[in-house]
Structure 1
């Protein structure tokens, strides 16, 4: 499912970019140009996301025994860097237009084209967000958040161009473009920081941790306690390890059965994930 949506993101991003470019040509608005420039990033990022999702789907091998799922984080970091680059291009165009701002005499048709592009973007971002959350795909989630920011940017640009055209204050156009660029910079930094957390094996969020702890506690009947839980996501795969304390005289076979029961429950909740359980005697009990 993730791969299918990542593939379709490429023609969708290209269509939106061409519509925004057409809107700029119709209006001459530097704000609409800035919106189109950001969409060039969407096209490149869509290609990167598709490649990353394909690579992440590859099974583990002798060289990559933990799988290839971190490829999605690398894709998301690359997308964040391109977002920052797009913001700098927007700022350059806007500053150049400040001394002589202009908008064509009849910009409404161009604005309408830009609105159509924004609607397409919004619908696709919603679809990517749903699939990305369901499949825990960093690449799709990064693309969805970027596109949602693009939608908000487009809305702000359209309002600004209409105001500039209606009031005659054409300086509003490049000023709005600079504000758009600042928002793009913020989103780019957000995408990069979240992806770097994944590359640095940041711990899972509090809600997911509570789910894992609840499942372990529910399935550990016969054991005394568990402690030292460490867990992280690598793309859609959950990696977790913890210590399980059992009675001093419990047989290896029975302790193994408890571990199997816990692992089955966790794998049902988090398919494809990997768990390491270190069995300890009751002398290691911490409570």
Structure 2
């Protein structure tokens, strides 16, 4: 092996390590985000917060799958997907669809029954923090994915950017309800999340089908 090949291998290992640390942070932050959002959402009766928190749980599962893949390449020097990885991604995709159905049902129920959620200062704080962190994290993942030429990491970067959109949508719903008392803003924000969440599920299922 010549020196150039050695240097390229060392550089790739360094990039893989960076990608791993980004995924570790993603999984950890999403876990914290999910715990706080779901707890605050249940306490306030906010479907926007609960839906956002459940999406964070699923994003954590997706992050675990990618972490597994990056660790495998780092250890074995191979980046091929295994059938188990594809099944895991397919499962994550189905979970996104279930979450979409839950949000549609719960948001519709709250609109019909005119259930007004309470204001949630904790929910607003976690959404603002997420809105700051997620775009920066997506940028770092996208840059690393480009240097690694990793489609999996690039797809994950796009998912992280979707999380930023969901943060903004939930924040608008929760914030408008808290400031203006427009109770319907919260379930409407939940419904606005559905197309993006369902799209994430479709992308995961389609990617899996494309490798069958």
Residue equivalent to 1:140:
153
In structure 2, the residue matched to 1:11 is 28
Q: TM-score, normalised by structure 2?
A: 0.74
Flag the 1:80–1:57 CA change in 2: closer, same or farther, 3 A. farther
Q: Distance in 2 between matches of 1:5 and 1:51?
A: 13
Structure 1: give runs of 5+ residues left out of the alignment.
61-66, 201-287
Unaligned runs of 5+ in 2: 1-15
| Deviation at residue 193 of structure 1 after TM alignment | 3.2
Quick one: structure 1 residues 151 and 107, their matched pair in 2 at CA, closer, same or farther if it must change by over 3 Å? same
Aligned residue pairs total: 192
SS in 2 for 1:102: coil
- The answer to whether the Cα contact below 8 Å between 2:47 and 2:106 also exists between their aligned partners in 1 is yes
Choose the corresponding residue for 1:31, options 31, 36, 48. 48
* CA displacement 1:154-206 (0-9 Å, x = unmatched): 10111122223344331222122112112211233234435544x26xxxxxx
For 1:170, the equivalent position in structure 2 comes to: 183
2:81 is matched with 70
Q: How big is the alpha-carbon RMSD for the aligned residues of Structure 1 and Structure 2?
A: 2.8
Query: Aligned equivalents of 2:90 and 2:151: distance in 1?
Result: 10
Kept in 1: contact 2:36–2:123 (CA 8 A):
no
Q: CA 1:159 to 1:92, structure 2 compared with 1: closer, same or farther past 3 Å?
A: same
In structure 2, relative to structure 1, the CA distance for the partners of 1:10 and 1:110 (3 Å cut) is: closer
Cα distance change, pair 88–129 in 1 and its aligned pair in 2 (3 A) = farther
Deviation at 1:127, TM superposition (A): 1.6
Indicate how the Cα distance of structure 1 residues 88 and 56 shifts in structure 2: closer, same or farther if over 3 A, else same.
farther
Q: Distance in 1 between matches of 2:26 and 2:178?
A: 33
Contact 1:146 1:187 survives alignment (8 Å): yes
Q: Are the structure 2 counterparts of residues 125 and 167 from structure 1 closer, same or farther at C-alpha, using a change threshold of 3 Å?
A: same
Q: Identify which of structures 1 and 2 has the higher relative contact order when contacts are C-alpha pairs closer than 8 Å and 6+ apart.
A: 2
**Quick check: 1:101 aligned with 2:115?**
yes
Is this contact kept in 2: 1:17–1:40, CA < 8 A? Answer: yes
Alpha carbons 2:173, 2:187 under 8 Å: kept: no
Structure 1 residues 11 and 84: alpha-carbon distance in aligned structure 2, compared to 1, 3 A threshold: same
**TM-score (normalised: structure 1):** 0.57
> Bigger CA drift: 138-147 or 32-41?
138-147
8 Å contact 1:28–1:103 — kept in the other structure? yes
More strand by share: 1
Q: Deviations over 1:25-78 (max 9, x none)?
A: 564321111111111101211111112223345658xxxxxx551249725544
Larger Rg, first or second structure (1 or 2): 1
